[in-house]
Amino acid sequence: MNQNSDIILFDGVCNFCNFWVNFIIKRDNKSIFKFASLQSEAGIGLADKYSINKKDIDSVILIRDGKYLIKSEAALEIAKELTPFYKIFYYLKIIPRSVRDFIYDLIAKNRYAIFGKRNTCRIPTEEEKRFII
């Protein structure tokens, strides 16, 4: 495992976000990523540690090398580390960030209405616990 794993903070009650956590876990062959829900003690602590603006909380957050990335920038950096087929999505970086983030924000702001919301955060399976901080 990567000694300094990248950490993905996600909305633990969002069905869409949980879908992507499962998607990433299955395609992270190098065990690069660890996960924490934004509602968890670890997630709250990391958000405070990195002074993450509360308005960014509707975004996936990637903590890497002592910095954090949000929105499309985080999503594309994550894609770059997945199994070979998904690395191709990283090249969407040629699209201006403002355009990428506009589309990202449309989905993020409507994620509960479109995909639903859980009453509680996900509980990792025994197999998934190695990915959770």
What gap in Å lies between CA 96 and CA 17, rounded to an integer? 24
Q: Within its chain, how far is the Cα of 3 from the centroid?
A: 19
The whole-model pTM stands at 0.86
What gap in Å lies between CA 65 and CA 100, rounded to an integer? 23
pLDDT in tens, 69-127: 999 999 999 999 999 999 999 999 999 999 999 999 999 999 989 888 887 666 667 77
What gap in Å lies between CA 91 and CA 72, rounded to an integer? 12
pLDDT in tens, 24-79: 999 999 999 999 999 899 999 999 999 998 766 778 999 999 999 999 999 999 99
Task: Name the phi and psi angles at 7, rounded to 5.
Answer: -115, 130
Q: Does CATH place domain 6-117 in 3.30.519?
A: no
Q: Which two tokens stand for residue 24?
A: 């990433």
Task: Name the phi and psi angles at 86, rounded to 5.
Answer: -80, -15
Going from the C-alpha of 67 to that of each of 102, 110, 120, 129, the distances in angstroms are 22, 27, 28, 24
Q: What is the pLDDT of residue 59?
A: 82
What gap in Å lies between CA 132 and CA 4, rounded to an integer? 14
- Domain boundaries of the chain, sorted by first residue: 6-117
Average of per-residue pLDDT values in the chain: 88
Q: Within its chain, how far is the Cα of 41 from the centroid?
A: 17
